[in-house]
Amino acid sequence: MKYRFFSTLMLAIAALAAVAQNSVAEEVAWVIGDEPIFKSEIEEQYQQALYERVAIDGNPYCVIPEQMALDKLFLDQARIDTVEVSSSAISAEVENRINFFIANLGSKEKVEEYFRMPLPRLRDKLNEVYSDQYCIQQVQNELTKNVKATPADVRKFYNSLSKDSLPYIPMQVETQIITINPVIPQQEIDEVKARLRDYANQVNSGEREFSTLAILYSQDQSTAVYGGETGFQSRSVLLPEYATAAFNLNDNKRVSNIVETDDGYHIIQLIEKRGDRINTRHILLRPKVSDKDLTDALSRLDSVRTDILQSKKTFDEMALFISQDKDSRNNNGHMLNEKNHSSQFEMADLPAEVGKKVANMQPGDISEPFVMINPKTRREQVAIVKLVKRIDGHKADLAEDYMIIKDMCEAAEKERIIHDWVIQKQKSVYVYIEEGWRDCDFRYDWLKKEKTK
């Protein structure tokens, strides 16, 4: 559970940057324990919130410092509890976030301009932010680790809610899917490999730069614009075959052999290794599926659909025996929603092509075969889907939405535990608020808890 009013990662970094860059003596607005909250930090977060259009529920000069004060209480407890931070996990998160910034802002230079600091310094700030967030989360998790609502708890909680406070549940569907990957001719695979070998030879001979070829030819659009650079990634984040080849590289002037993954075929160039993380460039090519192969796959699935409609086979049986979708095959074809780990999807969470088919179907209907893009491999495949169930949009109901109500019940209990903990924690921590920062409708009664050192 994240116990925050509005905070975002960018706001936290901006505040850290403001303090680090200001050589003038800082004016203190709050003091929590031995930790000051500077006026410049509060102002910087407010300005950044305006820029990012982040909603602040209340007076920003009250909400922002109170949230910062709450964070400091949790961090103080983390120090008492000697919460240990996984440096490798934090580093991986930092690199993922930097890659995200680069992708959204356009270049490393624009990222440095946005945050007004060079990338190495930004990494340090991100490490600090992520480490703090991790510590806060660990303290909160420890406080609420025993919260588990029983059916009686859930029922009592549900009955205590007014109709107006019940959440609206958008329409959800349950679907089954059978997919077939069209056969790719060996000639097409050979041509892709020949192109990649040619690119590798050009780089190894010094004729052309790997990054130039990646920009021109790589089919991984997310990295091609950066010369194929992936950013620092841990082994667990990379596809297994890619990770094995990448971590075996030692010469950043040489190119790997061709590597096959579910995404396609790659050649890889090492940029830098840092412990269990690696930064590489790659060029990805995907063999094309011919119109004939697509037509053949569509025809095969049309026959499968006919057999199911004529009750010669069930959808479940055909999904188990012929479907090439790894995630659903062993679940009788039921699609699983990674967002909530259930079989229920909101329409927006379905692959686009599946959503279009399901929108006009009734429960029990099976679609005609269609072509779709596998959201993970980005390759063309053919599919048929069955609409198992449709749940129209509605106010949350105990019978239909038990798990949602249960989550709400547990969230409310966790909120209560943390609220009570904060009140107790205030009693043991020095609190001082400067004049001019006290006229607020705080969530917690900080003013009565002020103590003199």
Structural domains of the chain ordered from first start: 9-148+409-449 (1.10.4030.10), 172-184+289-395 (3.10.50.40), 186-285 (3.10.50.40)
Cβ neighbors of 280 (< 8 A, separation 6 or more) are: 229, 230, 233, 246, 249, 268, 269, 270, 271
| Of 306, 332, 336, 331, the residue nearest 318 (C-alpha) | 332
The pLDDT of residue 99 is 79
According to the model, what pLDDT value does residue 115 have? 81
As a whole number of Å, the end-to-end CA separation of the chain is 33
Q: What is the pTM of this model?
A: 0.67
For residue 126, give Cα distances in angstroms to 14, 54, 91, 331.
Answer: 10, 20, 9, 40
Q: Is 96 buried (19+), middle (13-18) or exposed (0-12) by CB count in 10 A? A: middle
Predicted confidence at residue 275, as pLDDT, reads 82
Dig out the tokens for 88 from the structure: 């490798």
The pLDDT, as a whole number, for residue 366 is 97
Mean pLDDT of successive 10-residue stretches along the chain, which has 453 residues = 42 52 68 92 83 84 94 94 83 80 82 86 88 94 96 96 90 95 91 97 95 93 86 87 95 94 94 88 93 93 96 94 88 88 89 94 96 85 96 90 92 96 93 92 82 45
- pLDDT at position 317, please? 94
Q: State the Cα–Cα distance between residues 20 and 147, nearest whole angstrom.
A: 40
What's the confidence (pLDDT) of residue 111? 87
User: If you average pLDDT over every residue of the chain, what do you get?
Assistant: 88
Tell me the pLDDT tens digit for each residue of 182-192: 988 899 999 99
Q: Which helix (H) or strand (E) holds 404?
A: helix 402-427
Would you state the pLDDT for residue 347? 92
Nearest to 171 by CA among 338, 331, 358, 327: 358
pLDDT for the residue numbered 10: 54
Nearest C-alpha neighbor of 384 from the set 347, 346, 349, 353: 353
Q: What is the pLDDT of residues 218-228, one digit of tens each?
A: 999 888 888 89
